[in-house]
Amino acid sequence: MGQPLPGCARRYPEPRVLLLDWIADCFAWLDARGHATIEASAEAEAHWVAFVNATAETTVYLGCKSWYVGDNVPGKPHVFMPLAGGFPAYAKRCAAVANSEYEGFIIET
């Protein structure tokens, strides 16, 4: 799923609760099926990064020189890592991934 949370400006409990519940449910799903590991596939990760970048292009963030895009660290790439699409869209995507039995993840026993 890539970078967690729709943005670091989001400091309310619901994103944290969503992530904790999603991870706990994922662990329970893995355990019930005898699986030991889960990792995003390279293809799914690349798709997520492209989606996050496309969403960021609709904002002013990419045109700014800020810590938010990594400009506070010399040599660090200028990228926008949080999802700018909003929390409801992020929650919906998390649910879709779980409902698809973690499509886009490599799951091993």
pTM of the model: 0.75
Write out the two tokens for 65: 């020189």
**Comparison of pLDDT for 3 and 93, the residue scoring more:** 93
Q: What is the pLDDT of residue 85?
A: 80
Can you give the residue ranges of every domain in the chain? 13-108
Write out the two tokens for 24: 């706990």
Q: What is the pLDDT of residue 22?
A: 95
**Residue 40, phi then psi, degrees to nearest 5:** -65, 140
- Could you tell me the maximum CA-CA distance found in the chain, to the nearest angstrom? 47
- Strand, coil or helix: what is 58? coil
* Band of residue 84 on the pLDDT scale cut at 50, 70, 90: confident
Please give the Cα distance from 55 to 43 (Å, whole number): 18
**Comparison of pLDDT for 81 and 51, the residue scoring more:** 51
Please give the Cα distance from 16 to 29 (Å, whole number): 20
What are the tens digits of pLDDT across the range 26-76? Answer: 999 999 999 999 999 999 999 988 888 898 888 888 888 888 888 889 998
Please give the Cα distance from 20 to 10 (Å, whole number): 16
Question: Whole-number mean pLDDT of the chain?
Answer: 86
- Dihedral (Cα; 23, 29, 33, 39), 10-degree rounding: -30
